[in-house]
Amino acid sequence: MIYVVSSMAQDLRDRTAELYLSQPLTRIEYAFSWLITSVVTPSLVYLSAVALPVAILDPHLLLSFGFEELGYLVVEGLFAGSLAFITAVLTRSRGLTFFIGLFWLLVLPFVLMMGVAVLSFSSMGSHQSPAAKTLLSVFAVLYPYKFYLMSASSLPASITPFQAVVISFSISVLFLAASLQYVRYRLEV
């Protein structure tokens, strides 16, 4: 997903987008096609890759299968994709888009959890520090699937997994709407 979005940034930087936009295609249609290709399609492919084998093996199992986890994972991927998409549109830099995407997916979750661990265990009392709760809530919004997997742990947060996924989805939609508005009114190719 991050690689495909970074390809859009390269098209914008190298002015390859001018070739596409010389056809009867608007800027918003061009960006929307990239959005569908780079963010929505990988999410749907992942969803079908999990659901189809279950449906083929035992269709009754599909009815008893909880799609809650899968929804959290799709929203987390949508958040990362929307962040990469708005970065690509604003910066037109393939390297920066790729770096931010990889940093977001691979480095930041560990940094946040290390911060939660340090803050949680530095307060030797029975109560978790407010800073640790706040950092854990930020982690929950940024990474709802990982937070859902950890929600059975002993780290209390001030947010539930469902609230985290709703906030994360809302922010993703805002990122995508803002990037499409930017493309519509401000993007020059």
- Per-residue b or e along 81-102, where b marks 16 or more CB atoms closer than 10 Å to that residue's CB: bbbbbbbbbbebbbeebbebbb
Query: What is the crossing angle of helices 108-122 and 130-142, to 10°?
Result: 160
CB atoms within 10 A of CB 109: 16
**Per-residue confidence (pLDDT) for residue 170, from 0 to 100:** 96
- Taking the C-alpha atoms of residue 72 and residue 149, their distance in angstroms, rounded to an integer, is 10
pLDDT value, residue 110: 93
**How do the pLDDT tens digits run along the chain, 189 residues long?**
777 777 777 777 777 766 666 677 777 787 788 778 877 788 788 778 877 887 788 777 766 666 777 888 888 888 988 898 889 888 888 889 889 989 998 999 999 988 888 887 776 555 667 888 888 889 999 999 888 888 756 666 678 888 999 999 999 999 999 988 888 887 765
In the block, residue with structure tokens 């604003």: 90
Q: How far is CA 159 from CA 6, 167, 185, in A?
A: 33, 10, 37
The CA distance from 106 to 108, in Å, is 6
pLDDT of residue 40: 78
Predicted local confidence at residue 154, as pLDDT = 60
